[in-house]
Amino acid sequence: MPQFINDPTLPKPTFPGSHMVVDDHYVFISGLTIADIVEDDPLTGDVAKETHRIMRELERMLRQEELEWRDVVRVDIHLKNLGDIARFDSVYAEFFEAGQYPARTCTESPKLCGGASVEITLMASRRRLTAARGTPQPDADTGPE
C-alpha cells in the first residue's frame, strides 16, 4: 500500500499532490524547483546553482528512505531554457557514478513555478534495500525464451 508523504522541511504543496509517494518497490519524488525549497536566497536564475541545491535536497529526501543516488532509475528534467543543458549536465553528472546514469527525459519548459530555471522529478528503486534486508525477490525476467 503506498504512503503519501509531505516533507515537513518543505512548504506544503499548493497543488493536489504529495512530495513523495513510497511503496515496497519504488520511491517517487515530485518535481522540485528552487522555489519549493525554503531559503533566504533562492538562487533563481543560475541554472548551475539551482541544480546543485535541488540535487542536494533530493539526496536528503532519498536518504530519508534509506536510498542513494545509485538507486535512482528515472529522472525527468524541465529546463526553462534548453540552451542551459550543458551547465545543468555539468552539475547533474557529479551526483552519479560515471556510466551509471538513470534513464531520463529533459524538456524545455519556459514557465516553471516561482521563476525557477530547473525542475527535477525522480523515481528510485527499493530493490537493493529490500534485497539487503533479506526479503525474497522475484526471479529476474530475462526476456523471451
Q: Which residue has the higher pLDDT, 91 or 14?
A: 91
Is the pLDDT at 133 greater than 80? The verdict is no
Q: State mean pLDDT over 14-42.
A: 87
Cα atoms found within 13 Å of the Cα of residue 137, Cβ hemisphere only: 14
pLDDT of residue 63: 96
Query: Using CA atoms, how far apart are residues 83 and 5, in angstroms rounded to an integer?
Result: 34
Q: Which residue has the higher pLDDT, 27 or 38?
A: 27
